[in-house]
Amino acid sequence: MRYEKNILTSEIYCELRKSVEWFELPKIKIDEAIKNSIYTITVFDGDNPVGMGRLIGDGIYFVIVDVVVNPEYQRKGIGTQIVNMFIDYVDKETITGSRSSIQLIAEKGKEGFYEKLGFKKIPNEFCGSGMRKGIRK
Ligand SMILES: CC(C)(COP(=O)(O)OP(=O)(O)OC[C@H]1O[C@@H](n2cnc3c(N)ncnc32)[C@H](O)[C@@H]1OP(=O)(O)O)[C@@H](O)C(=O)NCCC(=O)NCCS
């Protein structure tokens, strides 16, 4: 398995989202999202793209999005490797005296995957719930 940095394309992005039956997005917005990502990872088996993830953020707050592993390749440690690469990246970006926060929204039932990687469910004793508002047209 080959883990490539910052070479994600809209074609691969669409193909992988389709493989896990996520809704389609317009190409123009996908291109913009990829361009504005801090860091993308694309995983290949030979020439075949089998996984991806994107890290977005501003240098203090980071958000992990679009972590997808093709169902034929799931449960082989690929998702774990993708998320660990993002954690390593943020760790290196965090300077002494500062604090970074890596945030994400787990799909229902996938919380265990992220808990194994050190993420904590919220709400907890320190935080209220994560919240979001979607706008669909
Ligand atoms: C979630 C996802 C990225 C995990 O990727 P993966 O490569 O299969 O995960 P790994 O092999 O690294 O799994 C490591 C551990 O996480 C846990 N895990 C993995 N998939 C899980 C799932 N679907 N539900 C609950 N726990 C899961 C397991 O404990 C697993 O260890 P095990 O295989 O020894 O039991 C993958 O299932 C996927 O792409 N799903 C569809 C898209 C999606 O939901 N993405 C996440 C968005 S929040």
Q: What is 81-136 written as a DSSP string?
A: HHHHHHHHHHHHHPPTT---EEE--PPTT-HHHHHTTT---SS-SS----------
Cis peptide bond upstream of 71, omega within 30: no
Q: Cβ distance 43 to 52 under 8 Å?
A: yes
Q: Which residue has the tokens 């996938």?
A: 110
- Mean per-residue pLDDT of the chain: 97
Helix (H, G, I), strand (E, B) or coil at 76: coil
Burial 49-65, CB ≥16 within 10 A → b, else e: bbbbbbbbbeeeebbbe
What would the pLDDT profile of 64-122 be if each residue is shown by its tens digit? 999 999 999 999 999 999 999 999 999 999 999 999 999 999 999 999 999 999 999 99
Check: CB of residue 102 under 8 Å from CB of residue 62.
yes
- The answer, yes or no, to whether any atom of ligand 1 lies below 6 A from the CB of 76, is yes
Residue 67, ligand 1, Cβ within 6 A: yes
Give 17 Cα–ligand 1 centroid separation in angstroms.
15
Q: What are phi and psi of 120, to 5 degrees?
A: -110, 135
Whether residue 75 has its Cβ less than 6 Å from ligand 1: yes
User: What does the pLDDT look like over 72-88, one tens digit per residue?
Assistant: 999 999 999 999 999 99
| Ligand 1 contact, 78 CB (< 6 A) | yes
**Predicted pLDDT at 74:** 98
Which secondary structure element, helix H or strand E, spans residue 2, and what is its range?
strand 2-5
Rg of the chain in Å (alpha carbons): 15
The number of the ligand 1 atom at minimal distance from the alpha carbon of 74 is: 8
pTM above 0.75, yes or no: yes
What was the pLDDT predicted at 23?
94
For ligand 1, whether the C-beta of 108 sits within 6 Å is no
110 phi/psi in degrees, rounded to 5 = -100, 10
What residue's CA is closest to ligand 1, atom 20? 113
Domains of the chain as residue ranges with CATH: 2-115 (3.40.630.30)
Mean pLDDT of 123-136: 95
Cα 95 to ligand 1 centre (Å):
30
